[in-house]
Structure 1
Amino acid sequence: MLAATKRIAIGAAVTALAVGLAGCSGTGGQEAKGEGKKGAAGAKKAPENAVRLIGDGSTAYTGTQPFTTTPQRLKPGQKPPQFVVFSWDGAGEDSQQLFSHFRQVAKKYDAKMTYFLSGVYLLPEEKAKLYDPPKHSPGSSDIGFNDAKGIKDTLREVRGAWHEGNEIGTHFNGHFCGDEGGVGTWSVEEWKSEIRQAKSFVKGWKTNAGLPGEAPLPFDYDKELIGGRTPCLEGQKNMMSAARTMGFRYDSSGIGNQVWPKKKDGLWDLPLQLVPVPGREFETLSMDYNFMFNQSGTTTQGDPTQHEYWGDQMRDGLLKAFDRSYEGNRAPLIIGNHFESWNGGTYMRAVEETIKTVCVQKDVECVTFRQLADWLDAQDPATLEKLRSLRVGQAPKSGWPAFTAADGTASGTPASPVAPAAHPAGRSEKH
């Protein structure tokens, strides 16, 4: 199973970020011989559902992902859908069985989610030195590695999640944070190495873990991987410079407001967002760790008498954030989480109750980051520019039909940038 104790200890690492708000956050095998050739004499086209193994068979091309649709451009006068993205950092299945649980929750409420897989969760402890992290000795990892059972269990959930229309992104590998060799100190070339290795552990787990009999992951990871979230939300600038040359289309390592996103350095910048903390005078980031930090600090098992209240506070904060987008500018709501049991698992309850409440509402689409990026790419740039003119919670004064009309003009005012917060209890920290 996953090194759960080590995961929680590292997840509770804290660092103050300049914004003053709570915030968290090798090469693989080649394609099978002859797969890339086209138009060979006498060759027959493989059926769409044919399995074509890649490399050592850890991954395979299995056709178009199920439960996906083609994004549609907004029609003149149409109100945009309310997108909500639920995402999971360091996704893996351990004894808590939260990956498998939330797959069932997603299916029940017709939600799609993004799972940011940590590459080292598919690397066994005895092969740890295959990982050569920047600024650290080979075999180092602040979240440990895995064992055969943990790898098999995680593979089962990743396969199932993808077949259900979910996205498999990356949380990279060793989760190093801080000034002493943390990801925020890495160069562009060091980030390229980290991304290549994250891919290689997904593309080569059969060989690395000695599991030749396990079924392949049903996707080509070089094509599936189009985005991620950095450990502790650090190192975004250099990571994006590396990632945009390696097939990425978006990043979710930033800190932002509930406004319509735009591209940064060629990638969609889809950040965690500042959301209300009911009963408090500040906002925090839309992630379980950040609510916990503002409630029990770095203690992951705080006062048991407060657990229910703390979970309710997170749920209600997320619902307030949802309502102000849904009734206001319709900006996508981005929510980040971990498969954890902090403060008695109260944040898992809060997230599940949020999914149950929002994903069933009219015009709401609970989607993956890939689906959101696809939708944004399909829109008229002029329409997106109009949408970005709306501030947090601001609905068009003239109504949506006039606002998105083909010959309409934006009736909002320019969105304000993220501003530093003065409240000391709302400072940012890493996860």
Structure 2
Amino acid sequence: MKNHRRVEGPGTRSRTVKVSLAVLAGCAVTALALTLVLDDDPDGAGTASSEAAGAGAGASASAWDGKVKVLGDGSMSDAGPQPHQLKIEKLKPGEEPPQFVVFSWDGALENDDHLFSRFRELAEANDATMTFFLSGIYLVPNEKRGLYQAPRHSPGSSAISFPTDQHVKETLEQLRLAWRDGDEIGTHFNGHFCTDAGDAGGGSTWSVEDWKKEIDQAYSFVARWKTNTGFSTEAPLPFDYAKELVGGRAPCLEGQKNLLQAAKTYGWRYDASSPGEFQVWPSKADGIWNFPLQLLPFGDTQVLSMDFNFLANQSGASTEGDPKKYAAWEKQTREGYLDGFERVYHGSRAPLFIGNHFETWNGGIYMQAVQDVMGTVCKKDGVHCVSFKELADWMDAQDPKVLEQLRRLDPAQSPDWPTYLK
């Protein structure tokens, strides 16, 4: 049976559709539905409120009158329901579940390597949608770095570099195109502070209020980029981030406990900050879908499903290991992802989560491995390469008793679906 995805939205078309736990100072995705309230302050700080939490895509689709409306200072707009979204259907009794694969990207900066545009275009070519976890300061030029006031750090501090003006403009263009392609724009928060990387004020030390401060700024940098940058002639983003943002991934996968408490006040629907789990069907944590990185086959052990974790097991702390080993490492990475895919595709059908960074570590082998995996799996029968937000939509539509049955399966366990889910 062919895999069909239907485009939803105005003027669109139909299309087919031993354990190693080395963890990177990770990125965070967020996609939530709430009303953004911005103070008209000269510093561009802005805050977000959860007055409209839970007002999902269906509500905005039914209310849209077909006219694009520019919002706030012109940084965002209401362009109607997002196109190219998965058609959400409830499993029928005895029906085999779809095989979902989620490719996600921490940071989402279009820099001189042009990896954002490369993988956005690859997703479109492979009938896939993805999640881009935007670091908010990637819309703040270096000369305006003082706008960012990170929890427990001095103003303008960041563990990652602020972008150039040109990189801000190029990133904005990719965000516009990605959303129109059907991709999700989540959040990797802002300054990427990690206790694991030696920062005494990293995310694992943050209180619930600290996370709220960080989240408010992540919203503000997207909602007020035009004011903050002075780029008056650039087109607005085609979405309202207060409705688009419903989940995220914390840097270094740190601080999830307090982050979840903060996320609930914004109406977020999922979090991808858990440091790891077996390939099992997801459950909720504090009422929010928990979408962790997963343990994949890696020789006689397992590795977390993120590019950095393959690197850590192959070249240690070095991002420029022995070039003579690049070909073998690339093959090992690709096979790890594909072995994890095959295990669930022919087994429990649990979703596969693959996390990435726009980096050229070890000669770019991890980028090539992910490209090969995307081209191999996304058009297979029964497979849907989707965003985290689309997966949350699908999970919310299912019978809780069916999901509980699915969670009882081991990754490679393939039941007789007609009787198992009857």
- TM-score scaled to structure 2, two decimals? 0.85
Structure 2 residue aligned with 1:273: 294
Structure 2 residue aligned with 1:98: 115
Structure 1 residue aligned with 2:243: 223
Deviation, 1:392, is 2.0
Structure 2 residue aligned with 1:211: 231
SS in 2 for 1:218: coil
Structure 1 residue aligned with 2:363: 344
Confirm or deny: 8 A CA contact 2:75 2:225 kept in the other structure.
Answer: yes
> Residues 339-360 of structure 1: CA distance to partner in whole angstroms, max 9, x if unpaired?
1100000000000000011101
- Taking the aligned partners of 1:250 and 1:203, their CA distance within structure 2 comes to 21
- Taking the aligned partners of 1:70 and 1:353, their CA distance within structure 2 comes to 26
Confirm or deny: 8 A CA contact 1:29 1:54 kept in the other structure.
Answer: no
Q: Which amino acid aligns with 2:368?
A: R
Q: Which amino acid aligns with 1:176?
A: F
- Taking the aligned partners of 2:159 and 2:352, their CA distance within structure 1 comes to 30
Deviation, 1:20, is 5.6
Deviation, 1:212, is 1.1
- Taking the aligned partners of 1:314 and 1:48, their CA distance within structure 2 comes to 47
Q: State yes or no: 1:360 paired with 2:379.
A: yes
Deviation, 1:320, is 0.3
SS in 1 for 2:137: helix
Deviation, 1:29, is 9.1
Greater shift in the superposed pair: 334-343 or 65-74: 65-74
Structure 1 residue aligned with 2:185: 168
SS in 1 for 2:185: strand
Q: Which runs of 5+ in 1 are unaligned?
A: 1-18, 31-44, 406-431
Q: Which amino acid aligns with 1:56?
A: D
- Taking the aligned partners of 2:383 and 2:86, their CA distance within structure 1 comes to 15
Q: Which amino acid aligns with 1:258?
A: Q
Give the superposed CA RMSD.
Answer: 1.5
Change (3 A) 1:136 1:363: same
- Taking the aligned partners of 2:64 and 2:191, their CA distance within structure 1 comes to 39
What is the number of equivalent residue pairs in this alignment? 369
- Taking the aligned partners of 2:190 and 2:224, their CA distance within structure 1 comes to 14
- TM-score scaled to structure 1, two decimals? 0.84
- Taking the aligned partners of 1:161 and 1:294, their CA distance within structure 2 comes to 32
Structure 2 residue aligned with 1:120: 137
Answer with 1 or 2: which has the greater Rg.
1
Deviation, 1:49, is 3.2
Deviation, 1:247, is 2.4
Confirm or deny: 8 A CA contact 2:148 2:157 kept in the other structure.
Answer: yes
Deviation, 1:188, is 0.2
- Taking the aligned partners of 2:420 and 2:64, their CA distance within structure 1 comes to 45
> Residues 34-91 of structure 1: CA distance to partner in whole angstroms, max 9, x if unpaired?
xxxxxxxxxxx99643111111010111100011144100000100000000000001
- Taking the aligned partners of 2:113 and 2:20, their CA distance within structure 1 comes to 33
SS in 2 for 1:89: strand
Confirm or deny: 8 A CA contact 2:107 2:133 kept in the other structure.
Answer: yes
Structure 2 residue aligned with 1:334: 353
- Taking the aligned partners of 1:316 and 1:355, their CA distance within structure 2 comes to 12
Structure 2 residue aligned with 1:152: 169
Confirm or deny: 8 A CA contact 1:222 1:247 kept in the other structure.
Answer: no
Confirm or deny: 8 A CA contact 1:48 1:64 kept in the other structure.
Answer: no
Q: State yes or no: 1:184 paired with 2:201.
A: no
- Taking the aligned partners of 2:73 and 2:121, their CA distance within structure 1 comes to 31
Q: State yes or no: 1:259 paired with 2:280.
A: yes
Confirm or deny: 8 A CA contact 2:48 2:219 kept in the other structure.
Answer: no
SS in 2 for 1:298: coil
SS in 1 for 2:265: coil
- Taking the aligned partners of 1:380 and 1:52, their CA distance within structure 2 comes to 37
2:303 aligns with one of 284, 289, 300: 284
1:313 aligns with one of 329, 332, 353: 332
Structure 2 residue aligned with 1:75: 92
Q: Give structure 1 regions of 4+ aligned residues with deviation exceeding 4 angstroms.
A: none
Confirm or deny: 8 A CA contact 1:252 1:271 kept in the other structure.
Answer: yes
Confirm or deny: 8 A CA contact 1:29 1:204 kept in the other structure.
Answer: no
Confirm or deny: 8 A CA contact 1:100 1:157 kept in the other structure.
Answer: yes
Q: Which amino acid aligns with 1:117?
A: L
SS in 2 for 1:272: coil
Deviation, 1:391, is 1.2
Deviation, 1:144, is 1.7
Deviation, 1:28, is 5.5
Q: Which runs of 5+ in 2 are unaligned?
A: 1-18, 27-44, 50-61
